[in-house]
């Protein structure tokens, strides 16, 4: 019996890197039962597995417990979910203050989803070489807001190679998920960090990313200096998260912390009297854009299904 890490999944074959560094092609035998979720693929990249040789083929016999995983519905109507990746050590959201603008709504939804999935998350502000004074002011404000909450922020220029050593250091030895909407410089950054790392992200059409087709393909690329970057073609965000309205504040750390002082312990921080969160927003202790993102998310869908 050997132990290894899944680094590529095609849905029927799995590439496993065993602890001694050797690559094996494996299949699964029979059905793996997953607690609580119905999946079209029981194993994903990032999974740690046990495998053994049976009739001259490598067969995965056990999946180790996961510390986290991200899923998406295999189609809009389907109840089946697809596991995209497991055991993610950290996520990085690449954002730009301008060229193009990344909105705080987008940032906050991503951060909330990462919190919901229990994935530590950092922000990378890219294109600092292009910023004019106004943009730099905005950058300072955003950094202030997010660092105060506890999110680590990096300022880089992928194009000019500024501060990439710090990014390499942060990625090193970890399983990393890099996200960001189109045009923020994700491919440029990845190529600058490690030229020739041929990620496929971004090549898939919007229709695909909405999950109209089922794709079970995903891959992790090994960094020369240690660690992995997860490549999930066509997947930019985290997909759908099912949660109760009352739960949403758990995923805005500063709102959650402050809510301990609300009069009602089921306070939604919208209309209730003696709400500590609203009071904190009024005095600027909680950033108004964060509160607006929170409100936007709890208001939007009565069925408590959040697409992030």
8, 72, 186, 278: residue in contact with ligand GTP (rule CB under 6 A)? 186
Q: Give yes or no for residue 150 binding ligand GTP (CB under 6 A).
A: no
> According to CB under 5 A, which residues from 173 to 232 bind Zn ion?
none
181 labelled binding-site residue: yes
Residue 184, marked binder? yes
Asked if 298 is part of the footprint of Zn ion (rule: CB under 5 A), the reply reads: no
Q: Is 130 in the site for ligand GTP (CB under 6 A)?
A: yes
Nearest CB to ligand GTP, comparing residues 80 and 159: 159
Residue 102 makes contact with ligand GTP by CB under 6 A:
no
Strands (E), the chain: 2-9, 14-18, 23-28, 39-41, 48-54, 57-63, 69-73, 81-86, 90-95, 121-125, 153-155, 175-179, 218-222, 228-231, 240-242, 305-307
Q: Which of residues 248-287 bind Zn ion (CB under 5 A)?
A: 262, 267, 269, 275, 277
| Comparison of 248 and 267: residue with beta carbon closer to Zn ion | 267
For ligand GTP, the closer of residues 47 and 219 by Cβ is 219
Q: What is the full DSSP assignment across 39-103?
A: EEES--BT-EEEEEEETTEEEEEEEPPPS-EEEEESSSS-S-EEEEEE---EEEEEE-SSSSPPP
Smallest gap from Cβ 156 to ligand GTP, in A, equals 7
**Options 15, 74, 104, 126; binder of ligand GTP; rule CB under 6 A:** 126
Q: Give the residues lining the site for Zn ion (CB under 5 A).
A: 262, 267, 269, 275, 277
* Interacting residues with ligand GTP (CB under 6 A): 126-127, 129-130, 157-159, 180, 182-188, 202
């Amino acid at each position: 019996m050997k132990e290894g890490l899944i680094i590529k999944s095609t849905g029927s074959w799995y590439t496993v890197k065993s602890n001694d560094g050797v690559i094996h092609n494996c299949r699964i035998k029979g059905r793996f039962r997953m607690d609580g979720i119905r999946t079209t693929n029981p194993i994903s990249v990032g999974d740690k597995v046990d495998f053994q040789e049976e009739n001259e083929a490598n067969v995965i016999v056990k999946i180790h417990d996961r510390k986290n995983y991200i899923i998406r519905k295999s189609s809009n109507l389907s109840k089946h979910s697809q596991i995209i990746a497991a055991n993610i050590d950290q996520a990085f959201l690449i954002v730009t203050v301008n060229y193009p603008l990344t909105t705080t709504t987008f940032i906050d939804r991503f951060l909330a989803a990462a919190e919901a999935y229990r994935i530590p998350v950092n922000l990378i502000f890219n294109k600092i070489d292009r910023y004019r004074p106004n943009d730099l002011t905005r950058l300072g404000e955003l950094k202030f807001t997010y660092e105060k909450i506890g999110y680590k922020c990096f300022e880089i220029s992928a194009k000019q190679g500024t501060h990439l050593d710090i990014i390499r250091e942060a990625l090193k030895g970890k399983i990393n998920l890099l996200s960001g909407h189109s045009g923020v410089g994700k491919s440029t950054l990845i190529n600058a960090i490690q030229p020739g790392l041929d990620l496929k992200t971004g090549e898939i059409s919007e229709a695909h990313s909405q999950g109209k087709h089922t794709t079970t393909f995903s891959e992790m690329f090994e960094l020369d200096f240690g660690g992995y970057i997860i490549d999930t073609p066509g997947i930019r965000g985290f997909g759908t998260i099912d949660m109760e309205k009352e739960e949403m504040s758990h995923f805005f750390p500063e709102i959650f912390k402050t809510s301990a002082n609300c009069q009602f312990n089921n306070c939604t921080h919208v209309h209730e009297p003696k709400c500590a969160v609203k009071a904190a927003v009024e005095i600027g202790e909680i950033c108004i854009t964060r509160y607006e993102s929170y409100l936007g998310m709890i208001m939007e869908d009565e069925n408590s299904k959040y697409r992030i």
